[in-house]
Amino acid sequence: MSTRYAAERAISPRDGSISWVVVSPEYELHVEAAAFLASLRMADRSINTERTYAGRVALYLSYCVTRGVDWKNPGLPALARFLHWLVDEPLEPRGVKKPVQPRFRTKQTANHIMTTICGFLRFCGQQGWVAAETVAQLSEQKYLSYLPPGYDPGEDGQFRTVRARAIKFSVAVEGYEWLSAEQFAQILGLTQRARDRFLVALLGGTGMRIGEALGLRREDMHLLSNSSALGCQVAGPHVHVRRRMNSNGALAKARMPRWIPVTADLVTFYADYTYERDQVPEAADVDMVFVNLFRPPLGRAMTYHNAKDLFDRLAKKAGFPTRPHMLRHTAATTWIRSKVPRDVVKNLMGHVAESSMEPYVHATDEDKRQAVERVAALRKGQVQA
């Protein structure tokens, strides 16, 4: 008999809303995991976050069952073994029949999974399902010798001592991946359909998250020079990003609504897409901007899976990695390097914390070469300091 717990999607018979639960091999609901996931919904977390956390909790519960570990009282040694198992255990092949090279999780991925499990155990501790002694072992005191950007240590440094996770791998912080102007132009040129071209141009030109783009509705597209007839006083063509529930599960991460200006080129791409979309009768009365036009069910709102398939195909043609979030980083990096004020970029991106802007400052090969050559020129007296 299988000993694996599984993350399953649940559809409400009342309103059709989607949620995630964890079930046992006998398809019995894991009550504590379900309550944890429900708490994420109460906190207005994204459905994608809920789905990811459900899979991680199911993985942890399955590990505990197969190794005879009490999931409510694992102890630090067992959690440490689980952390190492995450990177040592090969991942299952993705539906291929021929033998392939085994894939493994990275240490960074293992750390993300462990963060979720610690959150799960802490939540259970708050409900009285996990002993306080177990929860206390999950973190330890740490003194911040180097402060993160934007962190306030307090007048007397009282906030320099924090609680940090006790079990994790030490990994280097990787920079965000982004595309050069040439790479972005190549990806845009590889699109063969107006809808796909508009989506790529929108992500790369506005810095939207993919969930924000897939959650757009026609009423959000204010592409005239004057939108006062729509009750909007924002001048010039722009789009509105709003957080709301959508049939395709797309959800804007930022809770505060914002508007983003768009260029004349993007307006043209949208007009081309509208003409393409008008050829599909099933899409006529659908309010969502991005819909299925080329395969059933026609007219249904485009999903994350559809978008991933599109970018996988574009990446294969281009010969380099391309993902929706890379276009968000591309937009932010381009703005920063073009000397756009950081507070403007922060507003365009929908960020709340100033520290969220730090990863977008990339040093290119050209930057580094110019820096070295400038030092050399200074030493030779060829330029002034």
pLDDT tens-place string over residues 107-150:
999 999 999 999 999 999 999 999 999 999 898 666 666 666 56
Q: How far apart are CA 14 and CA 317, in angstroms?
A: 44
Q: Pick from 313, 328, 343: which residue ends a domain?
A: 328
155 plus 14 within the same structural domain: yes
Mean pLDDT of 68-81: 94
Is the same domain home to 50 and 108? yes
Mark whether 186 and 159 lie in a shared domain: no
C-alpha 322/C-alpha 311 separation (Å) is 6
Asked if residue 132 and residue 208 are part of one domain, the reply reads no
Q: How far apart are CA 227 and CA 234, in angstroms?
A: 7
Q: Which two tokens stand for residue 255?
A: 């809770």
List the CATH number of the domain containing 295.
Answer: 1.10.443.10
- Looking at 291, 306, 328, which one is the last position of a domain? 328
- Angle between helix 194-206 and helix 304-318 axes, rounded to 10 deg: 90
Same domain, 135 and 92: yes
Q: Is residue 381 part of a domain?
A: no
pLDDT at residue 370, rounded to an integer: 73
Domain, as residue range, for 319 = 181-328
Is 256 among the domain residues? yes
| Phi, psi (degrees; rounded to nearest 5) at 258 | -150, 165
Q: Stretch 235-258: mean pLDDT, rounded?
A: 87
Q: Are residues 20 and 74 in the same domain?
A: yes
Please write the tens of the pLDDT for every residue from 323-363. 999 999 999 989 988 888 888 988 999 876 666 666 666 56
Residue 351 placed within a domain: no
Residue 349 lies in a domain: no
Instruction: Give the list of residues 6+ apart from residue 48 with CB closer than 8 angstroms, or none.
Output: 211, 249, 251, 304
Is the model more confident about 242 or about 100? 242
141 and 26 in one domain? yes
Q: What is the sign, positive or negative, of the torsion defined by CA atoms of 226, 228, 230, 236?
A: positive
Q: How far is CA 194 from its chain centroid?
A: 25
Tell whether 143 and 211 lie within a shared domain.
no
Tell me how far apart the alpha carbons of residues 169 and 85 are, in angstroms, rounded to a whole number. 12
| Residues 22, 123 within the same domain | yes
3-state helix, strand, coil in the chain (%, to 5): 45, 10, 40
Please indicate, yes or no, whether residues 160 and 14 belong to a single structural domain of this protein: yes
Q: How far is CA 114 from CA 23, 31, 57, 64, in A?
A: 20, 20, 10, 14
CA pair distance 290, 384, nearest whole angstrom:
54
122 and 190 housed in the same domain: no
Q: How far is CA 63 from CA 3, 26, 110, 335, in A?
A: 9, 16, 14, 45
Band (17; pLDDT cuts 50, 70, 90) = confident
Count of beta carbons in the 10 Å neighbourhood of residue 147: 12
- Say yes or no to pLDDT of 166 above 80: no
Classify residue 279: in a domain, yes or no. Answer: yes
Q: How many domains does the chain have?
A: 2
Q: Give a yes or no: residue 373 inside a domain.
A: no
- The reply to whether 151 and 277 lie within a common domain is no
Distance CA 382, CA 97 (A): 63
